[in-house]
Amino acid sequence: MQLITPAPWSDYELIDSGDFQKLERFGDFVLARPEPQAIWSKSLTDDEWEERTHALFRRDRQSPERGDWQTTPAMRDPWFVTFKQAGLNLTFKLALTSFKHVGLFPEQADNWVYIHDKVKAMIDTGQGVGRPRVLNLFAYTGGASLAARQAGADVTHVDAVKPVISWARENMDHSELDNIRWIVEDATKFVRREVRRGNLYNGIILDPPAYGRGPDGEKWVLEEHLNDLLQSCADLLDRDNFFFIINLYSLGFSSLILDNLMGQTFGEVPNAEWGELFMTDSVHKRLPLGVFYRFASL
């Protein structure tokens, strides 16, 4: 089992965490948001948090998920950040949403580099792959899709929420990329259809939520549906040249559960890495931000 955190990058910083909150800098702006796993105490004082914060998320008492933002006059919404690392040069539009998210999960940066490296390796070693085909499921605003596309892959980006697809398309344009295939559909339905068609992908990326709804009201419950989805993904993954990544951010799932699922679904796989993703704040507290499993033929 491994603990993985992204290399530092200039447009993101976890400043502090604690008391079920995290204080983060995205580009020029500092945000304070809820974080259920930060059960320890803050290191900075409440006054220091308030002095630094441009936008503070407050949960709606009537909803466990929704809320609103309190902002200072200096706060811009939307705004942009860049990620320049290991051959990647990506630009993301960020915005303050009613679900506390801003359109970017910084802990995934290590996976973006991994995806970029695996696609480039397939192309550079000339293994008969041509342009690798990559499928990104529950793809949100597209960080993984952009990384694969910038490395030279043909990318299919699937998400059930049409406005999120539009957001991802903007990120593609701002990153000066093109020709990503956009699919607004329930991930399980799409994967089953691809299996029936006999299609194969060199890379598959999954980042499923704990709960969700498809565009036609399809219900997604992680514990109930993940196993079947993984079985279908195994049928879609190329046998010779491949990589596979799954991320889970659900308090009930440990990396051991993922290890069991992967072993049962894929059997023995080469170059497997699995464990927790985390970010370190400025006083060296490590904030866990999900579990992952990834493997590749190279």
Where in the chain are the domains? 2-79, 105-296
Which amino acid is located at 100 in the chain?
K
Do 203 and 134 touch, CB atoms closer than 8 A? yes
For 89-99, write each residue's pLDDT tens digit.
999 999 999 99
Of 122-131, 221-230, 249-258, which range is least confident? 122-131
Nearest-angstrom CA–CA distance, 293 and 244: 8
The percent of residues above 90 in pLDDT, for the chain, comes to: 87
Q: Which helix (H) or strand (E) holds 23?
A: strand 21-26
Per-residue confidence band for 220, with pLDDT thresholds at 50, 70 and 90 = confident
Locate all alpha helices (DSSP H) within 157-284, ordered by sequence.
Answer: 162-174, 187-197, 222-236, 255-266
Q: Who has greater pLDDT, 53 or 253?
A: 53
Q: Which residues of 49-146 form beta strands (DSSP E)? A: 55-59, 67-71, 79-85, 88-94, 133-137
Task: Supply the pLDDT for residue 69.
Answer: 97
Nearest-angstrom CA–CA distance, 81 and 214: 29
For 2-79, the fitting CATH number among 3.50.50.60, 1.20.120.610, 2.60.40.1180, 2.40.340.10 is 2.60.40.1180
Hey, what are 123's tokens?
């192309």
Task: Supply the pLDDT for residue 127.
Answer: 62
Hey, what are 118's tokens?
């695996």
Q: Who has greater pLDDT, 224 or 159?
A: 159
What is the rounded average pLDDT of the residues 16-36?
97
Task: State the architecture of 105-296 in CATH terms.
Answer: 3-Layer(aba) Sandwich (3.40)
Task: Supply the pLDDT for residue 211.
Answer: 79
pLDDT over 90 at 125, yes or no: no
The percent of residues above 70 in pLDDT, for the chain, comes to: 99
Per-residue confidence band for 129, with pLDDT thresholds at 50, 70 and 90 = low
Per-residue confidence band for 264, with pLDDT thresholds at 50, 70 and 90 = very high
What is the rounded average pLDDT of the residues 149-164?
97
Structure-token match 């059930």, residue found? 160
Nearest CA to 125 out of 237, 269, 240 is that of 240
pLDDT over 70 at 58, yes or no: yes
Instruction: Mention every residue, 6+ apart, whose C-beta is less than 8 A from residue 170.
Output: 93
pTM above 0.75, yes or no: yes
| Cis-peptide into 288, omega within 30 deg | no
Shared fold status for 2-79 and 105-296: no
Of 166-180, 188-202, 218-232, which range is least confident? 218-232
Do 135 and 204 touch, CB atoms closer than 8 A? yes
What is the overall mean pLDDT for the chain? 94
What is the rounded average pLDDT of the residues 16-40?
97
Residue 49 φ/ψ, nearest 5 degrees: -60, -45
